């Protein structure tokens, strides 16, 4: 390898050790309490240090960066080390998180960004890096490629784990709040329903892109703001109800042939079942009869306005084993699907109806696109709506 590449590596080590921000991130990673957000911070911080080192190296040896072959060689060498480093850190943190969650899936590595590196070398060789604008563009690209190593890791593992049967959420956070494009992409997405632009970064982009995954049937932890004694606090609550997108994805798997085959093992609602005063068979443990008229009676009992809302009861025995309570149809706004678990008690049914009604109101107000792009916010609002209005309706 070239002497210049060795010099850059040496400078990189020195600057990394003296960079307080990077060292603070490394301490978090070594604490045993880190998550993938810390890995994203690590990738961006090492990119910033790498940017500074290249600025120094180009200022000292500008002629060396006019040879495309040499530039490509240096970039491959430097990014090769950072690729291994970032992936090793990500894999280590992922294994810690998986162990705590009881998940035994090996972390996957994305491909090395060879094409981006070759393109950068080709473009750079045609520019005069003694020009401040050209130098700034080059170092911004270096920083961007370094950060994208972890983004590629997130995308690869989100895809792999989703196909393995885990529930996966991709989260993009816009920390700068100055870029309209990034602000529109910020949000929590249920994989694989992730817009392509969520994975993209413009130069000098500081957005955080991470993912979380969990076993099907485990609990989600939802945070929402509350006000007590005049002060706003954050409350965290363990819940099993799925988001509309999650429910729909699982429904496709479980109910894919609901209208096509009687051999699917799914009980279709018949007249005799509709007339039963209590649940039978696999549903006999459910307290509330799975009847539309029962739903409407309970809504009248608690003065819940159902105008503009239609209910669909999903009567599949397979759904009893899944953490389904309800879902809101994003295409047929106003339709609420209720799953067997929602009928486990009158309280649960009322809470489910209130929760899904909030999603209907959100869709009517904001539309499908906005709601999908802001799933986390929509869920927080729905859980607060559910909690507050359940307290209200039970006091009437």
Q: Are residues 329 and 210 in the same domain?
A: no
Is residue 242 predicted with pLDDT exceeding 90?
no
pLDDT one-digit tens code per residue, 34-49:
999 999 999 999 999 9
- Which residues, 6+ apart, have CB-to-CB distance to 42 below 8 Å? 22, 25, 26, 29, 86, 89, 150
Helices assigned H by DSSP within the chain = 3-18, 20-30, 36-60, 68-101, 114-125, 132-163, 180-185, 244-254, 271-275, 292-301, 346-366, 368-373, 375-393
Q: Are residues 210 and 250 in the same domain?
A: no
Q: Are residues 195 and 258 in the same domain?
A: no
For the chain, state the CA radius of gyration: 26
- Does residue 220 lie in a domain region? no
**Distance (Å, whole) CA 352 – CA 311:** 12
Q: Are residues 58 and 164 in the same domain?
A: yes
Q: Which residue's entry shows tokens 């000292």?
A: 60
The residue with greater pLDDT, 154 or 216, is 154
- Does residue 219 lie in a domain region? no
**Distance (Å, whole) CA 4 – CA 19:** 22
- Does residue 221 lie in a domain region? no
- Mean pLDDT over residues 343-362, rounded? 93
- Mean pLDDT over residues 227-253, rounded? 46
pLDDT one-digit tens code per residue, 63-82:
889 999 999 999 999 999 99
- Mean pLDDT over residues 242-255, rounded? 52
The share of the chain scoring above pLDDT 70, in percent, equals 82
The share of the chain scoring above pLDDT 90, in percent, equals 52
Q: Are residues 249 and 157 in the same domain?
A: no
What is the model's pLDDT at position 276?
52
Q: Are residues 177 and 293 in the same domain?
A: no
Model confidence at 269, pLDDT cuts 50, 70, 90, reads very low
What is the model's pLDDT at position 239?
41
Model confidence at 321, pLDDT cuts 50, 70, 90, reads low
What is the model's pLDDT at position 374?
84
What is the model's pLDDT at position 277?
64
Query: Measured at the alpha carbon of residue 371, what is the angle toward residues 38 and 249, in degrees to the nearest 5?
Result: 80
Contact 64, 70 (CB under 8 A): yes
What is the model's pLDDT at position 324?
67
Picking from 214, 247, 264, the residue at the C-terminal end of a domain is 214
What is the model's pLDDT at position 256?
53
Q: Is 247 exposed, middle or buried (0-12, 13-18, 19+ CB in 10 A)?
A: buried
Nearest to 375 by CA among 154, 200, 167: 167
Domain that holds residue 28: 3-214
- Mean pLDDT over residues 126-132, rounded? 91
Q: Are residues 167 and 198 in the same domain?
A: yes
DSSP string across 80-94: HHHHHHHHHHHHHHH
- In terms of DSSP bridges, do strands 310-313 and 335-338 run parallel, antiparallel, or are they unpaired? parallel
Q: Are residues 236 and 373 in the same domain?
A: yes
Picking from 214, 235, 269, the residue at the C-terminal end of a domain is 214
**Distance (Å, whole) CA 215 – CA 218:** 6
- How high is the mean pLDDT of the chain? 82
In 3-state terms, what secondary structure has residue 166? coil
Contact 342, 348 (CB under 8 A): yes
pLDDT one-digit tens code per residue, 180-200:
888 888 888 999 889 988 998
DSSP string across 318-368: GGGGTT--EEE-SSSTTEEEE-GGGGG-HHHHHHHHHHHHHHHHHHHHH-H
> Domains in the chain: how many in total?
2
Is residue 243 predicted with pLDDT exceeding 60?
no
Query: Measured at the alpha carbon of residue 366, what is the angle toward residues 247 and 392, in degrees to the nearest 5?
Result: 75
- Does residue 112 lie in a domain region? yes
- Which residues, 6+ apart, have CB-to-CB distance to 270 below 8 Å? none
**Distance (Å, whole) CA 166 – CA 119:** 36
Model confidence at 235, pLDDT cuts 50, 70, 90, reads very low
Pick the range with the lowest mean pLDDT from 105-119, 214-228, 253-267: 253-267
**Distance (Å, whole) CA 113 – CA 252:** 35
**Distance (Å, whole) CA 185 – CA 373:** 7
- Mean pLDDT over residues 260-274, rounded? 38
Picking from 191, 214, 237, the residue at the C-terminal end of a domain is 214
What is the model's pLDDT at position 252?
55
Q: Are residues 69 and 189 in the same domain?
A: yes
Torsion of CA 40, 45, 46, 47, to 10 degrees: 90
- Does residue 201 lie in a domain region? yes
What is the model's pLDDT at position 253?
55
Model confidence at 92, pLDDT cuts 50, 70, 90, reads very high
Q: Are residues 239 and 340 in the same domain?
A: yes
Q: Are residues 239 and 365 in the same domain?
A: yes
Model confidence at 378, pLDDT cuts 50, 70, 90, reads confident
Contact 146, 50 (CB under 8 A): yes
- Mean pLDDT over residues 205-222, rounded? 71
Model confidence at 216, pLDDT cuts 50, 70, 90, reads low
Q: Are residues 132 and 198 in the same domain?
A: yes
């Amino acid at each position: 390898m070239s002497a210049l590449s060795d010099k850059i590596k040496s400078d990189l080590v020195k600057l990394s050790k003296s960079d307080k921000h990077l060292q603070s991130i490394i301490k978090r990673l070594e604490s045993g309490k880190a998550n993938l957000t810390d890995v994203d911070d690590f990738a961006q911080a090492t990119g910033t240090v790498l940017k500074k080192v290249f600025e120094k190296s180009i200022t000292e040896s500008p002629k060396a960066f006019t040879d495309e072959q040499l530039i490509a060689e240096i970039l491959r060498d430097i990014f090769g080390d950072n690729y291994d480093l970032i992936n090793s850190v990500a894999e280590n943190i992922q294994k810690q998180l998986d162990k705590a969650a009881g998940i035994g899936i090996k972390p996957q590595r994305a491909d090395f960004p060879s094409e981006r590196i070759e393109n950068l070398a080709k473009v750079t060789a045609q520019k005069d890096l003694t020009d401040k604008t050209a130098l700034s563009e080059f170092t911004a690209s270096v920083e961007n490629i370094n950060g994208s190593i972890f983004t590629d890791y997130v995308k690869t593992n989100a895809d792999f784990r989703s196909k393995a049967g885990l529930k996966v959420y991709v989260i993009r956070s816009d920390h700068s709040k100055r870029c309209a494009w990034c602000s529109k992409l910020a949000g929590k997405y249920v994989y694989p329903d992730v817009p392509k632009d969520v994975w993209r970064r413009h130069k000098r982009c500081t957005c955080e892109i991470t993912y979380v995954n969990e076993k099907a049937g485990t609990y989600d932890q939802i945070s929402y703001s509350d006000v007590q004694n005049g002060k706003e606090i954050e409350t965290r609550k363990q819940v099993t109800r799925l988001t509309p997108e999650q429910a729909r994805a699982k429904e496709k798997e479980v109910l894919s042939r609901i209208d096509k085959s009687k051999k699917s093992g799914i009980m279709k609602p018949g007249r005799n079942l509709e007339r039963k005063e209590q649940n039978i068979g696999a549903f006999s443990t459910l307290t509330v009869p799975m009847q539309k008229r029962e739903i409407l009676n309970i809504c009248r009992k608690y003065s819940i306005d159902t105008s503009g809302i239609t209910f669909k009861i999903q009567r599949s025995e397979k759904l009893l084993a899944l953490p389904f309570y309800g879902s809101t149809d994003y295409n047929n706004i106003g339709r609420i699907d209720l799953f067997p678990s929602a009928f486990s008690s009158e309280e649960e049914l009322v809470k489910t109806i209130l929760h899904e009604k909030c999603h209907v109101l959100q869709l009517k107000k904001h539309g499908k696109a906005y709601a999908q792009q802001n799933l986390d916010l929509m869920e927080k609002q729905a859980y607060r709506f559910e909690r507050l209005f359940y307290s209200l309706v039970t006091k009437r």
